[in-house]
Amino acid sequence: MGTWDIGPFDNVTAADFGGDLDEAAAEEREAMVRNVLKRAAGPADFLGIYDGERAVAAAALVVTQHPDGDRARSDYGPSEPLRELPADLRLLAIDALDQVVSNRSELAELWAEAANWSKWRQDITRLRDVLAPPIPPQEEALFEIYSVTHSHGPQKFSQTQTHRHTLSLTAR
């Protein structure tokens, strides 16, 4: 693993991907990012290290364009900014990052053996959380449900009974 730090572009494969993006025509760059994310997010028995490293880098590029994303740039990422990426890449990036940290990922397997594994995992979680922030637990009622029964009289309805039920949900 040609890696020197935990950042999305801090390995040879991701740095090369950044260079490939710089060399590509501006109109080809979105497709390159999309293809990397699709490859990682797609069904496979095992996600190889190189696909995982490129997927983390591609997801980081999607994150930089998110309103809550980190605008910091790596010295090893693309030197030219990408055109605005479509919002649908956010979901694809989430799926790719989920595969990168799964038990089917060679990259996760190798990082699990490294001393700074927890920092790498936190960085992946930070990227994912920008794209899909965790939902905080709800303690208050989200909505109220009213059940009303009516008796039918000649040409009008009259309310005979009303029950108020409050439903409270807690996310886990």
What pLDDT digit, counting tens, does each position of 80-135 carry? 888 999 999 999 999 999 999 999 999 999 999 988 889 999 999 999 999 987 77
Q: Count CA atoms within 13 Å of residue 15 on its CB side.
A: 13
Q: Which residue has the higher pLDDT, 101 or 143?
A: 101
Helix spans in the chain (H): 12-23, 26-41, 49-64, 88-100, 106-112, 117-131
Nearest to 131 by CA among 56, 76, 77: 56
Band of the pLDDT at 172, cuts 50, 70, 90?
very low
| Residue-wise DSSP of 27-53 | HHHHHHHHHHHHHHHS--S-B-HHHHH
Q: Distance between CA atoms of 70 and 68, rounded to whole angstroms? A: 7
Q: Using a pLDDT cut of 70, give the percent of the chain over it.
A: 75
pLDDT for position 154: 47
44-57 burial by CB neighbour count: b if 16+ within 10 A, else e?
eeebebbbbbbbbb
Q: Distance between CA atoms of 171 and 72, rounded to whole angstroms? A: 32
pLDDT for position 22: 94
pLDDT for position 72: 53
Average pLDDT of 53-58?
97
Band of the pLDDT at 43, cuts 50, 70, 90?
confident
Q: Which residue has the higher pLDDT, 150 or 112?
A: 112
Average pLDDT of 42-66?
93
CB contact at 8 A, 112 and 145: no
Longest dimension (CA), the chain: 83
Q: Which two tokens stand for residue 40?
A: 């990682």
Q: Distance between CA atoms of 136 and 7, rounded to whole angstroms? A: 27
Global pTM? Answer: 0.76
